[in-house]
Each structure stands twice: as C-alpha cells, then as structure tokens.
A and B are shown apart, each in its own frame.
Chain A
C-alpha cells in the first residue's frame, strides 16, 4: 500500500483551479520532490494532504486513511508549512513542549522525545533561547523538530530550505536525507539541484496539473526524447562524420564549432535514446585515423526538463 495516494485531487478558489485532477502515489520510505514554478499549486496540494484545506473534489489517502478521517490522518503526518511558522515569543523548549502536548504525547515520554528531536535537528545549543532570537536556519530546524515530535510516518515539508544560506541548505538536506531512511517524505521546492540531491523521485506540476513524475534520469530522458553526444575531434571532421553516418543513418549534427586550430567541437543527436552513438563515433575515428580528444554524454538537465514542462504557463502569464 502506498503511503500517500492522491486520486483526482482538485481545489478551486472561486472559478480558478489551484490544483486540478492531481493523481500520484508516494511509496513507503520514499523521498518525493514536488516541483513547480511559483503558484503552481504545490502549497495547496500539501495543505490538502495535511487536512488544512479540504479538497473541492477527489480524495487522497495517507497510509490507507482517507482525508475525511482528518484527525487520524493528522496523527500520521508531520507538517512543516512554508516559512516554518512558530511562536516567536516562546523558547525552543516550551514550543516543543506545547507541540508535544497538542499531539497528546504523554508527559512521561515528552521530555525524552524533545531531547531526541533536538539532538537530531542540532538544537541542543539553543534549546532555551527564544525563537525570536534564532536565525532563519535554526527556526527552520525548530519547525522540523516540531513536525517530527510525534514520530509521524509521513513528513510533508513545504519549501524546507527557502531563505537559508548555502551551508544551512546542505545541513537541512542531510537531515532530510537521514529522515528519509525511516520515513516517507514529500517535500516541495523550486530549487532543482536540491530536489535532485535529496529526492528518490520527483513530480513536476504546473497550473495545478501533473506534468511529469519519475526519477531525475527518467524525467531527463523523457524530455530529451533521444540521445546526444558532444565530442572534440582533432583532424578531418567531415571524413569522420561521413563515416559515422554510414553506420548510423539518422545521426544529425546539431552544432559544429572550430575550438582551436585543427580541433572541432561537434554535437551529435540521434532520435533513438539507446543508439550507440559513442561506440560508432569511436570506430569511425579509428578507421579514419582521426584523434578523439573528448567525448561526453550530454543528458538533458533537470533545468531543461523543468523549463520545457512549465514554459507554457510562463509565456501565457
């Protein structure tokens, strides 16, 4: 049974769909990234999954429990809303105490639980400081600790690293990665390398609709639709390319630049994603007595995929 399963989830604000017919599954123990441009419906999706907003139509289930069984679902889910809100007038310890009480953690185990989570999130140094005095990174960690205090099966994190400096981002990423070993995590972001670094699979949504779902390699392949290769050749380029076209008829030269005297950079493209471009180029070069200085396999980057899938909305808006 998948941990999170959304079926035709819709949310309307007035006549406008914030989320439209969104269906997906997140497997147990998986870290899933939710990608999309601003206003794509990422936060709305998360708010529905955490029972903050009721869906206009459709349903989702967490661990087999429908969102309608809201109180039970909330026990299973730990949620970190965007900007990690917390009570700035409280110190970290009393804030975590409050969260623990609200989740009904018995007082006997609450203290240990808080200690454990403060340790996991690196909060020991600031446990008696007021949240107001903490840096953004620490506040984010406080939010994470609070969301995990009741030991939820499933963590839903809305942009957990916005506003952090690069060091803090790395720390939070490690933390999420570590958590992902035991828990199911759904996190949203518009920072692509982050999702790539942290998530097992990702989905891209735009205008509230699912555009793509898979691992970053799958998405890259899907976007590219063929294979491509960049090579730097020393010697007679045209002879090699003619030879190559004899073995692979559909090869196209998408770009050809003179980089230095007698050295040419060529970009090759073949519509079949599994075409043996590199092998054939190598054999062609050997048989023509030409030197290959460099060959690299250019995958479409996640940026390209993202851009391709969400461009429509940016052009229109």
Chain B
C-alpha cells in the first residue's frame, strides 16, 4: 500500500514540476469550456445534457495524453527496472500509476463543477441529474483510464501508447455510434456491454447497479491486463 501511495505521489510531483501536466490540463479545460459555453448559448436552457454528451469525445483525446507516459516512459528510460527490483509487487506498480491518473482526472472533473454552479445562478438546474451524470462521467473516465494505462504497458514509446489508447477508446465510442446500422443481435451486445450506452443511461439521472458494475468490472479487467503485460516482459 505504501508503494501505491509513493508512486502516485511521485507522478503528481512530476505533473506539478513539469509543463506536461499543465499543458494537458489547460487544453482539456479550454476544450470543455468551449463546448459548455457554445451549447449553453445555442440551446438557451439551463441543463448540461449537451456538455455531458460531448464529454466522451474529450476523453478520447485527453485521457490517452494523460496516461501515455505513465508506464511507457518507465519502460523506455529503464526506471521500470528500478521499480521492479524494489520490494513491491507488480500490481502495486499498476495501482500506483492508476491512482495517480485517476487523481488527475478527478481534479479536472471537479474544476468543471463551475459549470453547474454557473447554471444554477441562471436558471433552475436539475441537480440530481447533474450529480448522476457526474458519477457516470467519473466511472467512464475510470474505465477509459484503465484502458489507456493498459496501452501504456504494452509499449516503451509514449507516442505509440497514445495512439493505441486513442484507437481503443474510439472503438468503444464508434461501436455505440454505428450500432443502429448493425444487425440486431450485435446491437443487443452493444447495449449490454457498450460503456457509452451505460454512460448514457446514467446521464438520464438514473444510477443503476448494473451500469456501475459494468464500469467497475471493466476497470478490473484492464488493470489485470496491464499487470499481465508487465509480468509478461519478465518472461520473454
């Protein structure tokens, strides 16, 4: 457990000390602010549905950017060898990196609470729906973060980790987008397992255990895959 916290602290430290963390954060906030503002004035309604609908698209570009160097750089710089010879288990390394990544994403999502607060000054906002949507957005981010961490464990080049992460997330996104044109039995599968579909459920303001469980199990699966990808390197 100590190792998980130490690793997460180290990542935050690097994020705070170097420009990379700021650049990604500022770009994310600018893009999200733009979508919030433009939708608000177009629709003229005090709700955040449009913004939450946009959010997965932002994730697709920004979460791989936040996660790409987490494991790939360690593998590239040889520091992974240091980590792996410290008295820590491989799963602690994965968890430490994941906690740091989730910390970053959670921080950015918290900054966007400014939007519903602004809205509540302008009109009557259904805070229940907004809270459920935020929970959905956080869970979706948690799943995407685990997927991108896995992408970072696969390669020792941060750029490749970014592209792989982006492609994996795009697949999730596009499956939901194109599902109406697919055969019915595939549509059923997508409704059952598509993370975006479950996120849309939560955007309606309904928190369903099935939706939450899908995200949680997705996170467990991709963290295990990351662990496996790291362990496999030792046996090659």
Residues on A lying within 8 angstroms of B by beta carbon are 13, 47, 50-54, 71-72, 74-75, 77, 79, 81-83, 85-90, 94, 98-99, 101-104, 130, 146
Report A-chain residues with C-beta under 8 Å of the C-beta of B89: 71
CA distance A71 to B86 in the complex (A): 8
Q: What are 20 inter-chain pairs, A to B, with CB distance below 8 A?
A: A13-B236, A52-B85, A53-B234, A54-B235, A71-B87, A71-B89, A79-B82, A81-B78, A81-B82, A85-B82, A88-B77, A90-B13, A90-B14, A98-B13, A101-B6, A101-B9, A102-B2, A102-B86, A102-B87, A102-B88
Given contacts A79-B85, A81-B81, A104-B87, contact A89 B7 (CB under 8 A): no
The 3 A-B pairs of least Cβ separation, nearest first, read A101-B6, A85-B78, A74-B87
Which of A72, A89, A98, A146 is the one whose CB lies under 8 Å from B9?
A98
- Mark B151-168 against chain A: 1 for CB-CB distance below 8 A, else 0: 000000000000000000
Chain B 75-102 per-residue mask, 1 if CB under 8 angstroms from chain A, else 0: 0011101111111110000000000000
Number of A-B contacts (CB under 8 A): 77
- Give min CB distance, B104 to chain A, whole Å: 15
Taken residue by residue from 14 to 49, chain B's Cβ proximity to chain A (1 for < 8 Å, 0 otherwise) reads as: 100110000000000000000000000000000000
The answer to whether A85 and B79 have CB atoms under 8 Å apart is yes
In contact, B18 and A89 (Cβ under 8 angstroms): yes
Chain A residue at minimal CB-CB distance from B86: A102
Q: Which residues of chain B are near A77, meaning CB under 8 Å?
A: 85
Contacts of A130 in B (CB 8 A): 17
Q: Are B86 and A85 in contact (CB under 8 A)?
A: no
A98 to B235, CA, bound (A): 27
Task: Give CA–CA (A52, B93) in the complex, Å.
Answer: 14
Given A54-B235, A85-B79, residue A98 in contact with residue B2 (CB < 8 A)? no
Which residues of B are found within 8 Å of A86, using beta-carbon distances? 79, 82
User: From DSSP, what is the main secondary structure of chain B's interface residues?
Assistant: helix
Docked CA distance A15–B79 (Å): 28
Contacts of A81 in B (CB 8 A): 78, 81-82, 85
Which of B5, B10, B77, B234 lies in contact with A90, CB distance below 8 A? B10
| Bound Cα distance A99, B86 (Å) | 8
B3 interface residue per 8 A CB criterion = yes
Q: Is the CB of A52 within 8 A of B6?
A: no
Chain A residue with Cβ nearest B83: A102
Say how far B235's CB is from chain A's closest CB, in angstroms: 7
B85–A51 touching, CB < 8 Å: yes
- Per the bound structure, the CA–CA distance linking A87 and B9 in Å amounts to 13
Of B3, B5, B7, B85, which is in contact with the most chain A CB atoms at under 10 Å from its CB?
B85
A121 CA to B3 CA, complexed, in Å: 25
Chain B residues near A53 (CB, 8 Å)?
234
Centre residue among B3, B84, B88 by max chain A CB count within 10 A: B84
Bound Cα distance from A74 to B86, whole angstroms: 6
Closest Cβ–Cβ distance, residue B76 to chain A (whole Å): 10
**What B residues does A101 contact at CB under 8 A?**
2-3, 5-6, 9
Q: How far is the CA of A77 from the CA of B235 in the complex (A)?
A: 21
Q: Chain A contacts of B78 at CB under 8 A?
A: 81-83, 85
| Complex contacts, B83 vs chain A, CB 8 Å | 102
Q: Taking CB as reference atom, which chain A residue is nearest B10?
A: A98
Q: How far is the CB of B223 from chain A (nearest CB, A)?
A: 20
Provide the residues of chain B in CB contact with A79, threshold 8 Å: 81-82, 85
Once bound together, how far apart are the Cα atoms of A75 and B88, in whole Å?
10
The answer to whether B6 and A98 touch across the interface, beta carbons within 8 angstroms, is yes
A90–B6 CA distance with the chains assembled, in angstroms: 14
- Given A53-B234, A54-B235, A101-B2; A87-B79 close (CB under 8 Å): yes
B14 touches A47 (CB 8 A): no
Chain B positions within 8 Å of A99 at CB level:
82, 86
- Closest chain A residue, CB of each to CB of B76: A85
In the complex, are the beta carbons of B81 and A90 less than 8 A apart?
Answer: no
CB neighbours (8 Å) of A71 from chain B are 87-89
| Residue from the set B10, B79, B234 with the largest chain A CB neighbour count within 10 Å | B10
CB distance from B162 to the nearest CB of A (A): 18
Closest Cβ of chain A to B197, distance in Å, is 39
B85 touching A102, Cβ below 8 Å: no
Report Cα–Cα, A57/B186, bound state, in Å. Answer: 48
Given contacts A83-B78, A104-B3, 10 further A-B contacts (CB under 8 A): A51-B85, A52-B85, A75-B87, A79-B81, A79-B82, A101-B5, A101-B9, A102-B6, A102-B86, A103-B87
Partner of A85, one of B6, B13, B77, B88: B77
Residues of A near B236 (CB, < 8 A) are 13
Chain A's closest residue to B77 (CB) is: A85
Query: In the complex, which of the residues A52, A85, A103 contacts B234, with contact meaning CB atoms closer than 8 Å?
Result: A52
Enumerate chain A residues within 8 angstroms of B17, measured Cβ to Cβ.
89-90, 130
Closest to A130 in B: B17
B236 vs chain A, min Cβ distance (A): 7
* Measured CA separation A248–B156 after assembly (Å): 66
- Contact A47-B6, Cβ < 8 Å, known A87-B14, A89-B17, A89-B18: no
Tell me the bound Cα distance from A102 to B6 in angstroms: 6
